[in-house]
Structure 1
């Protein structure tokens, strides 16, 4: 049984918080903290509540978990650069917590997949204790998202401008290849919210640049199944996380 989440702050805004879940009683503790970053096309309407079952599943598997919240588009300070600043500040806060073991593995879904992949491209990622990122149906290529008008042009709403601007470049994981830490992508073959081909250019260009990047496209899997602990796809998510650990648990 997992513990009740404990909410901690990393800033003064009500959205600058994260929930800590401890490893479930009886689970073999892995000695790693999984930072869960939820999706929702970066929009105010979607908060971390829908990612709680996923976070509990990681705790049940023996991980310490930090379930992140952040300012989103449509909120004061949300969008670019505020959302990116929040993710940076969040990881600094988590890395300083004596009861949350390092290293950190980041797991993000959809827009959260964008955010953790963005972190993977930053030169400070390893300094925060990040050893890898797992993108679940992630919007890892803002240009592809824009061309496909995903989420009714959610990327433009998030950034505040279109492709080619400084803000767009600063937020696009494609602009910081290769990633500075390993990246694993798990995408559903039947995902019509963020189709798996959104990751094609990221994977090919990151790999060509020498990045440690691997992708798995799961048959019969849609956008939400990758964060559903009852879905067969979630075992592949756990495997992706474990593949990033410095030593096998």
Structure 2
């Protein structure tokens, strides 16, 4: 296991408190508070290719590090593929409900920070006003966010399906219906068509990422106009590892959006 891949099992301090946003076991949010007034609220959306075997615990080290940097931090858990209600629409509805609750109570700028499949969900959440009418999680107006940082995000579902990433993770997540109507509400690349100027999207992606190829980030950047910051020699897990050389770039992006 690489030094950064051990983030999946590395111990870290748990949250100061946990709140629920629904009755299901995984409909909850972990909260960390800094010692002083928070600069902003950073909402962390974990990855794991949307699968039930991966949960929010691997993001605890980064949540603790962000709180030490002066941010209030909220780590969202959600129903995932392989669980009752996981997939479309449940996963999307969970992320939307948790984020709406956090934004309604926040008195500071809100920055979304998502890794891998969590990058997919975070960028999707920022573009919910572009979800077609009747689609999961749709908002009538853009959500009140300062911005989104996507870390190695799975931002192109067509490529994820075509490349059969992680042995069919996207197909498992979307289910049997992978029609254009489904992808129109679930795929960030489609939602970003026409540009995302003013949305505060920043993409960080390592060019040595073997789990989520950087080509997915390049496609989204080309369609959306969002800046893609290439992390040279960086793999999939370094961006969520506070001990890695890539971590300062993550902190810098969050600080830019927090203002």
The two structures have a TM-score, normalised by structure 2, of 0.85
**Could you tell me which of 140, 146, 152 is aligned with 2:155?**
140
What aligned pairs does 1:184-203 form with structure 2 within 5 A after superposition? 184-203=202-221
Change (3 A) 1:154 1:144: same
Task: Report the 3-state secondary structure (helix = DSSP H, G, I; strand = E; otherwise coil) of the residue aligned with 1:70.
Answer: coil
Q: What is the aligned partner in structure 2 of residue 158 from structure 1? A: 173
State the Cα distance separating 1:168 from its structure 2 match.
Answer: 2.3
Alignment check: 8 A CA contact 1:64 1:101 kept: no
Mapped to 2, the partners of 1:203 and 1:183 lie a distance apart of 10
Task: Report the 3-state secondary structure (helix = DSSP H, G, I; strand = E; otherwise coil) of the residue aligned with 1:130.
Answer: coil
Give CA deviations for 1:84-117 in whole Å, capped at 9, x if unaligned.
00011001111233xx433210000000000011
Alignment check: 8 A CA contact 1:119 1:125 kept: no
Aligned residues: 235
Q: What is the aligned partner in structure 2 of residue 17 from structure 1? A: 28
Q: What is the aligned partner in structure 2 of residue 94 from structure 1? A: 102
Mapped to 1, the partners of 2:176 and 2:108 lie a distance apart of 36
178-187 or 50-59: bigger deviation: 178-187
**Could you tell me which of 63, 76, 90 is aligned with 2:84?**
76
Give CA deviations for 1:55-109 in whole Å, capped at 9, x if unaligned.
1111011000001100000101000110000011001111233xx4332100000
Mapped to 1, the partners of 2:215 and 2:146 lie a distance apart of 26
Mapped to 1, the partners of 2:146 and 2:189 lie a distance apart of 19
Alignment check: 8 A CA contact 2:21 2:98 kept: yes
Change (3 A) 1:144 1:3: closer
Matched, 1:223 2:229: no
Q: What is the aligned partner in structure 1 of residue 127 from structure 2? A: 121
- Structure 1 unmatched ranges of 5 or more: 208-212
State the Cα distance separating 1:31 from its structure 2 match.
Answer: 2.8
Mapped to 2, the partners of 1:131 and 1:144 lie a distance apart of 28
Alignment check: 8 A CA contact 1:32 1:103 kept: yes
RMSD across aligned positions (CA): 1.8
- Structure 2 unmatched ranges of 5 or more: 1-12, 130-138
Mapped to 1, the partners of 2:41 and 2:107 lie a distance apart of 6
Mapped to 1, the partners of 2:15 and 2:82 lie a distance apart of 30
Task: Report the 3-state secondary structure (helix = DSSP H, G, I; strand = E; otherwise coil) of the residue aligned with 1:151.
Answer: helix
